[in-house]
Each structure stands twice: as C-alpha cells, then as structure tokens.
Amino acid sequence: MKNCIVVTGGAGFIGSNFVNEWVKHGLGKVINLDKLTYAGNLENLAEIQHNPDHVFVHADIGDREAVQKLLAAHQPRAVVNFAAESHVDRSIHGPGEFIETNVVGTFHLLEEVRAYWGALGATDKTQFRFLHVSTDEVYGSLSATDPAFKETNAYEPNSPYSASKAASDHLVRAYHHTYGLPTLTTNCSNNYGPYHFPEKLIPLVIHNALQGKPLPIYGNGSNVRDWLYVTDHCSAIRRVLEDGTVGETYNIGGWNEKTNLDVVHTLCDILDQEQPKAQGSYRDQITFVVDRPGHDQRYAIDATKIERELGWKPAETFETGIHKTVKWYLAHPQWVNNITSGEYKNWVSQNYKERGEELA
C-alpha cells in the first residue's frame, strides 16, 4: 500500500479545495476521481494541473470497473468520498439523480473498496481508511432554542438531498459494523470560500450583486445556518483521517450561526467597501422570494467532540472568512464568467421562474 489517497468528487467545491491543499502541503499523491457533472470543474485544479502528485481520473463512483481498476493500479491507503449531488433545490426538482449518485453510487463505491481492502495484507488492512464526507442536514431542523446538533442526534432529513445523504451515511456505518471496513464519517455545516458554485447563497449573492441583478432571499431571510470556511473544513478532514477513531462520526462546524439575511447584509457591506457602486448600496438589490418547500429553519453544529478528541477548531471567524471569500471572487472574474455561462444559467432560470421571479 502506497502513500497515496483516492479522492472522489475532487473537482467540486469542497473536494477541489481539499485536493489543492493536500498537494500543496506535500502530503502524498492524490488520485482524483470525478464524474464532472455541472458542478465539477477542472479549472478548480488549474494550479496543480501539472503536479505529478495529482492524477485526475474522469469516472463515476458508480462505475464499478473503473473504481476497481483505479484501486488496483494505485494501491491507496485511504479513500475520501466527497462525490455527491449536493443542492437542496436541485433535489426538489429532480430527486432521481440524488438517489442514483448519493445512495446507489456510494453503495457501488463501498463494494469495490471493501473488495480492495479485503485483499490487503494484515498491516495494510489495519492502516486503511474510508472517510465519508456528509452534511449536518441529515439531522433535520432546529428551533431557535434547540441545542446544536451532536453526533448522537437522531437522523431526521427533510429534503430528497438530505435523505439521500442520510442513506449513504447509514450504508457507511453498516459496512463498518457488518464487514469491519475501517470507516470514518464527517458531518459538516454550510461551507463557503473559493471555487463555490454560484447556485449557493454566498457566491450567488456576490455574482448577482456585481451584475446589478436582484439578490434573492427565501422567505423573510430568518433561516439560520452555521458557516464553515472551506479550508477549515479541509484541515478538519485531514485530522480525522490522521487520528480519528474507526467507526466514529465527527461533526465539523464553524461556530458561526448567522441568518441568511445577516449573511447577505454582510456581503453587501463588504462589496460596498471593496467595489462600490456608482450610486447607492448593494443592499438596494435585495429581493425576497417565495420560500423553498420544506425549508429547514436552523442548522447548528456542536463541534466539541472533534476539538476534544483531535484538537481541531476552525482558524477562521466568519468575519475573516467572508472577507477572504469576497476578495477571491473579485480577483477571479474569469472563473465566475466561465461557470455562469453554461449549465448554471439554465438552472437559475428554471428555479426562479417556478417562483414567479425573473432573476437572471
């Protein structure tokens, strides 16, 4: 078994940040498997395109033959599974893809990893890890006074997306308890930062603000999320992979609960400073739109366990992270233009027309 890991979904938002950091830190070779759906973007990996420690493989986690060949050829010491359909609105419009990728795809991946792991020698079997990256949305929704989600919270998913992720988490747990596969699961709060596809709140608001378009906020903007800067998430995953207890789950959060309206106001205020309009404030573009069906009111992560057991806590506050994020988008207009010229426009049109809104 070599000093090599396989990362699935490594051309997406969180996955590409993880792969970029892994290679830049010189932590070993990464075999990056990605299907390159609309949110998978090779431009995210441009800085390591020619680095010999990064090998890109265009394949689906549900392609058993491709996964089997990859594992046999590269003999990784770990598989980190980011591959997933990950947007609630898309899951409402088309749940089938979420079941296919997040549930069936994870099953096929687990089967091939189990076969590979089962054939390893005794020492390599002990050292191998399968780390599954999941979400806090599997726990459902919190009221304003409920304590934050702990790893012991019951699963209560409320969207096709979160239900499909919950199913994948259960499969990973079952493969550990039934077959002994050395698994780890992480459940994170809302990520933000560079390379974030602009269907999600923060990059959508930045993009629309600069384009002079309305800034759409569901309902009255009171929904609360815990915000985690993406490189903090990556460092947490590295710690879990290094020293996490096999079979355990670790919640990863930023200790930054904010309402959606607070987030949008903060973005507008930063943009007013960094790239002011000729007249008025970006806040003038805020538009409230019909709420998402079954919209969870609040998510919050209790990240005490990972700090207590592995010594991890986020390095960024929301204030430092959100400033870095805005500056990154302002410095990379070509990346944004390339993203928004294709499939994303089709999705925005479909999603908001159904709400009677013309936002793009």
Q: Confirm whether 52 is domain-assigned.
A: yes
Which of the four pLDDT bands, split at 50, 70 and 90, describes residue 352? Answer: very low
CA-nearest of 226, 187, 130, 192 to 320 is 192
Q: Tell me whether residue 302 is one of the annotated catalytic residues.
A: no
Q: Confirm whether 104 is domain-assigned.
A: yes
Q: Tell me whether residue 242 is one of the annotated catalytic residues.
A: no
Q: Confirm whether 249 is domain-assigned.
A: yes
Q: What is the pLDDT of residue 345?
A: 53
Surface-to-core class of residue 280, CB atoms within 10 Å of its CB (0-12 exposed, 13-18 middle, 19+ buried): exposed
Distance CA 221, CA 263 (A): 9
Q: Tell me whether residue 161 is one of the annotated catalytic residues.
A: yes
Q: Confirm whether 29 is domain-assigned.
A: yes
Distance CA 322, CA 325 (A): 5
Out of 12-26, 116-130, 236-250, 325-339, least confident range: 325-339
Q: Confirm whether 175 is domain-assigned.
A: yes
Annotated active-site residue in 137, 169, 232, 316? 137
What domain count does the chain have?
1
Tokens of 251: 């919640």
pLDDT at residue 243 greater than cutoff 90: yes
pLDDT at residue 334 greater than cutoff 70: yes
Provide the residue range defining the domain that includes 94: 4-189+229-254+295-316
Q: Confirm whether 328 is domain-assigned.
A: no
pTM: 0.93
> Tokens 């209790």 label which residue?
302
DSSP 103: I
Q: Confirm whether 266 is domain-assigned.
A: no
Which of the four pLDDT bands, split at 50, 70 and 90, describes residue 100? Answer: very high
Annotated active-site residue in 112, 136, 302, 316? 136
Q: Confirm whether 269 is domain-assigned.
A: no
pLDDT at residue 291 greater than cutoff 90: no
- The proportion of the chain whose per-residue pLDDT surpasses 90, expressed as a percent, equals 84
Give the domain CATH number at 299: 3.40.50.720
Tokens of 323: 């400033």
Annotated active-site residue in 89, 112, 116, 161? 161
Arithmetic mean of pLDDT over the chain: 93
pLDDT tens digits for range 160-218: 999 999 999 999 999 999 999 999 999 999 999 999 988 789 999 999 999 999 999 99
